[in-house]
């Protein structure tokens, strides 16, 4: 044959590399031990032209069979040779034609290709490749030299990858396998082909190898990780490899591989990943990597330096994807801490299913004894029929929600709350508790507790960066955490730092995220306000949030209306204690005529006059609005509700600030008052209804009331520490017509005695007492 194997004009890519697939070794840098180097790079880098990996294309094909006779040699000469056009596909294991006829009637397996060479003819150079196969040669003719070289490198790559897949699928000696992995990595790094699959293919081969061989030693694990490290610098690890990395982080968190190899990989993931939803194992690997950093001796200091490296040294992070990815990792990690409780909740019917009657509880698995707590302090003074509702847990219904009532004692009643719309009850309403109740008790395991502490601390670190704070506030709105997390005291206490940073930021795009995104979906403002499950500072954070929101609120009246509707009690309590922001809020409510009820207006006025700063600001307001003075001249309020968590001192300050001669109805329910407040209550001559539900009012105060408030008609002592000694004194209050002694230490004898001595008594509640 007139075929010569020349270089085609000095091209150095003459033939396929002759490195053996098994047993061949690539020398490591001198003085290094196998597995001790974190990142082993290729010895040679390919320079010159770059090509895209071909998957298919059009090319001319000619097959030459080895001549056996003189006649066959003549028939295969270049003058009688026939070329066929074919559309060839480079599959994973063979070279095949889209039209399997002629020369390409049968596909050519990569295992049958003995050699790939670049060729040129003697007289008229053509752009040809020679594939040596048993019994002959396949010639491929391209349109130009670039396409010829592209086919050449693509065929070589496909052939080598096919061989490595076959060889590494049945490993025998792991030290030889490690050498082959290094050779495979070097091949990918030096290939002139530029394609995502060039680096991903070796990673997938190694990933499959590891998934099928789970009995490797730790040292073998580390050696393989070090060998593939150069490929990971510019490529995400495939899913199976991520699981392998996660396992290594959990089992060997102090390994140098974690710090030196995984760090650049995780940094690349955080900088370039666009959607963890499509690749959740990348998120899980990042999550386990950060936990491994936290297990080091320096702990959170190492994590802090890692976050700092991701942000960069300047005041603005140059990588926009870092913050969303970090927040996504934090949210997923925090969610996993409460997964056991969430799964238990998910086994029970949802509120929407309950309303629509989609599924009966008998079809569900039994749930853990978790309860959702619900507040009703504002309803206490208005509806006595709702006075037993303390803790509520959903049971089942179709058009309404049935709840099981459980007071602090062993009380268990049935109460029904109608549902008038199709929206889900808002998040905070499901978690709000009466002041006498505590949050849901959640105990996390040691590992979950460490995970929670680590990722809440990361959220704190993120909130310290000025350029990240607006985006962080937006990412945490609406509240993205499960109800179980919001009911966990440790979590909300730690997260409070982040909310404080939002409240202190003067930028409107930051602190506006404290509010709910829409009606019915409460935000951080509601969660950390007095009465919310996260409030543990008597309203200090609430006051700072109100201050910053009022300073930039372009809808002041709307915001005041919201406060008056939902948070008037906390505002009055803080104003009663001298908080200047709340004093200003109450003055604005009066100035804008936000409050329609005269009794509530008079209570606000009395609250303002109880402190020096409030009295001064109220006088300035009266100079502008004389009708307020006219309102006050009509007398004090007839109804008064002390805000929850108020103390004896708060009540004394309020009652001493104005005229309460007309006061007939006073509610102290769910406050912290004791018997000491009785000396102020006896100065209310017109008082007819007194609600002391769930307070610490005892026998001493009850005896004092019975001596002076002889006109009292309605008295609620539910869940107070009173005993027979104090209750017997009520026999002198002949005007009593309604008496609630639910869940007290009332005895049967005392109850009979009171019935005999109180002729006007018509309504009595003695449930969960000895007399019941």
DSSP for 358-425, written as a single string? -S-GGGSPP--S---B---GGGTTT-GGGTT--BEEE---SSEEEEEE--SSS--EEEEEE--SSSPP
Contact of 588 with 556, CB cutoff 8 Å: yes
* 664-765: CATH number: 3.80.10.10
11 CB contacts (<8 Å, ≥6 apart)? 118, 149
* 1-214: CATH number: 2.30.29.30
pLDDT confidence of residue 153: 94
Q: What is the pLDDT of residues 375-421, one digit of tens each?
A: 333 333 333 333 333 333 333 222 222 223 333 333 333 333 333 34
Confidence band for 423, pLDDT divided at 50, 70 and 90: very low
1-214 and 664-765 have identical folds: no
Question: Exposed, middle or buried: residue 368 (CB in 10 Å: 0-12, 13-18, 19+)?
Answer: exposed
Residues in the chain, total: 772
pLDDT confidence of residue 582: 93
Chain centroid to CA 351? 22
- Checking if the pLDDT of 435 tops 80, the result is no
Domain segments of the chain as ranges: 1-214, 664-765
Contact of 145 with 122, CB cutoff 8 Å: no
Q: What mean pLDDT, rounded, does the chain reach?
A: 79
Among 196-200, 429-433, 715-719, the range of highest mean pLDDT:
715-719
Q: In terms of pTM, does the model score above 0.85? A: no
CB atoms within 10 A of CB 638: 15
Which tokens sit at 89? 């596909």
Q: What is the pLDDT of residues 146-174, one digit of tens each?
A: 999 999 999 999 999 999 998 888 777 88
Q: What is the pLDDT of residues 719-755, one digit of tens each?
A: 999 999 999 999 999 999 999 999 999 999 999 999 9
């Amino acid at each position: 044959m007139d075929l010569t194997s020349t270089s085609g004009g000095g091209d150095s890519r003459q033939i396929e590399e002759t490195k053996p697939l098994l047993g061949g070794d690539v020398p490591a840098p001198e003085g290094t031990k196998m597995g001790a180097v974190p990142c082993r790079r290729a010895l040679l880098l390919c320079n010159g032209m770059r090509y895209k990996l071909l998957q298919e294309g059009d090319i001319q094909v000619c097959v030459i069979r080895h001549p056996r006779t003189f006649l066959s040699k003549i028939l295969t000469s270049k003058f009688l040779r026939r070329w066929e056009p074919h559309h060839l596909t480079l599959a994973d294991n063979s070279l095949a034609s889209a039209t399997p006829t002629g020369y390409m009637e049968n596909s050519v397996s990569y295992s049958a290709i003995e050699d790939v060479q670049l060729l040129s003819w003697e007289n008229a150079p053509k752009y040809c490749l020679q594939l040596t196969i048993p019994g002959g040669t396949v010639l491929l003719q391209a349109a130009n030299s670039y396409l010829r070289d592209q086919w050449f490198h693509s065929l070589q790559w496909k052939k080598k990858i096919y061989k490595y897949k076959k060889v590494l699928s049945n490993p025998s000696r792991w030290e030889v396998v490690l050498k082959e992995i290094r050779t495979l990595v070097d091949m990918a790094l030096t290939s002139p082909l530029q394609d995502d699959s060039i680096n991903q293919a070796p990673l997938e081969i190694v990933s499959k190898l590891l998934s099928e061989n789970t009995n490797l030693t730790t040292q073998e694990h580390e050696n393989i990780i070090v060998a593939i490290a150069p490929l990971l610098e510019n490529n995400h690890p495939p899913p199976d490899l991520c699981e392998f990395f996660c396992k290594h982080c959990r089992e060997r968190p102090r390994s140098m591989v974690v710090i030196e190899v995984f760090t650049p990989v995780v940094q690349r993931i955080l900088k370039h990943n666009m959607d963890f939803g499509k690749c959740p194992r990348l998120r899980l690997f990042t999550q386990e990597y950060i936990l491994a950093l936290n297990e080091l001796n320096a702990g959170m200091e190492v994590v802090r330096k890692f976050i700092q490296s991701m942000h960069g040294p300047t005041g603005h992070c140059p990588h926009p994807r870092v913050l969303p990815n970090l927040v996504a990792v934090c949210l997923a990690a925090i969610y996993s801490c409460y997964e056991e409780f969430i799964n238990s909740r998910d086994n029970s019917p949802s509120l929407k299913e309950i309303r629509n009657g989609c599924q009966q509880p008998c079809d569900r698995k039994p749930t853990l004894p978790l309860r959702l707590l619900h507040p009703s302090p504002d309803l206490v003074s208005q509806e006595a029929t709702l006075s037993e509702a303390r803790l509520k847990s959903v049971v089942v219904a179709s058009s309404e929600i049935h709840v099981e009532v459980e007071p602090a004692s062993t009380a268990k009643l049935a109460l029904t709350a109608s549902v008038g719309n199709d929206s889900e009850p808002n998040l905070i309403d499901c978690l709000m508790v009466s002041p006498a109740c505590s949050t849901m008790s959640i105990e996390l395991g040691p590992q979950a507790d460490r995970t929670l502490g680590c990722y809440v601390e990361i959220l704190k670190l993120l909130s310290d960066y000025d350029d990240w704070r607006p985006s962080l506030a937006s990412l945490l709105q609406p509240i993205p955490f499960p109800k179980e997390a919001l009911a966990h005291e440790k979590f909300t206490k730690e997260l409070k730092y982040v909310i404080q940073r939002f409240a202190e930021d003067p930028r409107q795009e930051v602190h506006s995220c404290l509010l709910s995104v829409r009606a019915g979906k409460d935000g951080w403002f509601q969660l950390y306000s007095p009465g919310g499950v996260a409030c543990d500072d008597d309203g200090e954070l609430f006051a700072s949030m109100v201050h910053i929101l009022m300073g930039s609120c372009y809808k002041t009246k709307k915001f005041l209306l919201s406060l008056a509707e939902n948070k008037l009690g906390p505002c009055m309590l803080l104003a009663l204690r001298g908080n200047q922001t709340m004093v200003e809020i109450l003055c604005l409510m009066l100035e804008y005529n936000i409050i329609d009820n005269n009794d509530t207006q008079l209570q606000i006025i009395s609250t303002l006059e109880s402190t020096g700063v409030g009295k001064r600001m109220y006088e300035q307001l009266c100079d502008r609005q004389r009708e307020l003075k006219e309102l006050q001249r009509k007398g004090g309020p007839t109804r008064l509700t002390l805000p929850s968590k108020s103390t004896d001192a708060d009540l004394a300050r309020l009652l001493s600030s104005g005229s309460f001669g007309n006061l007939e109805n006073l509610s102290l329910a769910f406050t912290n008052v004791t018997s000491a407040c009785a000396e102020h209550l006896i100065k209310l001559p017109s008082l007819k209804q007194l609600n002391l539900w769930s307070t610490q009012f005892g026998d001493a105060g009850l005896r004092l009331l019975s001596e002076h408030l002889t006109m009292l008609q309605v008295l609620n002592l539910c869940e107070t520490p009173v005993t027979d000694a104090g209750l017997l004194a009520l026999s002198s209050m002949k005007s009593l017509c309604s008496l609630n002694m639910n869940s007290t230490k009332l005895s049967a004898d005392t109850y009979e005695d009171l019935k005999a001595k109180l002729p006007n008594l018509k309504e009595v509640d003695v449930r969960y007492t000895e007399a019941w």
